[in-house]
Structure 1
């Protein structure tokens, strides 16, 4: 059963339509990717799902319509977005950034939050090594790891990732995508927006191709990876 179901979603910037008639489904513990060129509307779609901009159409999570729920209410339901900009607190330490990630769970036991610190540090050993270091002093790859780790501290049910490979060296990209793949074992659903089509399709279970605001192709990720049009348009210069 799909725990995120989107049907006929439209979003606009003023009178300019950004995305039109988007319909997707995601099941718990699966990775779904949306690939496409710059300006196709990928990030806009994530913002709409997060409640950061208005939309028309239907989006339901765990069987309940998201409707006009504010961002905080969506976070409370377990929907977490890691934006392209990562939005870390640069002058705060790695540990404090992770602590902020658990804010929505502040009324839960300290033991459960300590347990999640251990899990994040196990996934990202470098964050454990730099726990007392200011986030602004980290490398690009470490900042992405911190953004992912902070999101996981909220115990997401649906993790939405906007261009996690942006600006990273190939060796770090491989590491980040391996960690994303491992989220299946935590039963976290992942909606991955990514320009590195090869990396995304090699990691995902199912994929959608978004062009000029509309879904033009969809299917199991291995099928898209081997589709002539996808290969010609998106895989020529993409490496992992």
Structure 2
């Protein structure tokens, strides 16, 4: 697979604090890459820096062109999209209106086929179609996550960045989220996944990076990281509590690479 997205020497800041340092990262066309690490490691700052939401230095190349000097809107127009940890939905607006907002950039440039795209989202997330007129703020946590991902898909991204998509969700819903990730990779969308559920994330991805206190301390094919004693001791033991990782792992294992 050819490279879609490369990062070289990225240093990102959170306020006056340098939260990630000298990060190198590569994502192939149609690939799924995960970044795992403890709370406070800088994972969200990394994603925000890549999307242009936080100040950063370094080279970010997307589809062969430098994007590190572009605005957030310009990166979105190029095909990058971030689903933030907080999901950032408009709670008093309907599910369908939230989805339509995701097509804003496409409409602005006269490229929108919003009705066609929204039907594709509903096919991917039948529960959202059932709740199309319901206010987003009344949805369950899993439904809000589905809506956040669906809204991102309305922008027709080539690279979808997901920040802790399983956070705070029940085990069965976690499994559903990872099923969705597996389906997206089959559709050709490349994914950068930041996730604390390390075992499920590694099973769902091709390649992984371990981020600790702002630095990449380990990287390699996901299958190798799953077998690495240091990764297992630090991250994999705790992630199976409540069967959460087992459910998500089973979904990921059934999905073609």
Q: Per the shorter chain, which TM-score range?
A: over 0.9
| Per-residue deviation, 1:226 | 1.5
Structure 1 residues 229 and 76: alpha-carbon distance in aligned structure 2, compared to 1, 3 A threshold: same
- Coordinate RMSD, CA, aligned: 1.2
| Per-residue deviation, 1:183 | 1.0
Greater RCO, 1 or 2 (C-alpha within 8 Å, sep 6+): 1
Q: TM-score normalized by structure 2?
A: 0.90
Where do 1:46-125 residues align within 5 Å?
A: 46-106=47-107, 107-108=109-110, 112-125=113-126
Where do 1:1-240 residues align within 5 Å?
A: 1-106=2-107, 107-108=109-110, 112-239=113-240, 240=245
Once residues 14 and 128 of structure 1 are traced to their aligned partners in structure 2, the CA distance between those partners, rounded to angstroms, is 40
The answer (yes or no) to whether the contact 1:82–1:148 under 8 Å persists in 2 is yes
Gaps of at least 5 residues in structure 1 are none
Once residues 66 and 213 of structure 1 are traced to their aligned partners in structure 2, the CA distance between those partners, rounded to angstroms, is 22
Aligned length: 239
Q: TM-score normalized by structure 1?
A: 0.97
Gaps of at least 5 residues in structure 2 are 246-257
The answer (yes or no) to whether the contact 1:29–1:183 under 8 Å persists in 2 is no
Structure 1 residues 24 and 94: alpha-carbon distance in aligned structure 2, compared to 1, 3 A threshold: same
| Per-residue deviation, 1:14 | 4.7
| Per-residue deviation, 1:16 | 2.6
Residue deviations 1:28-87 (CA, integer Å, cap 9, x gap): 211000000000010001111111111111111111111321100000001000000000
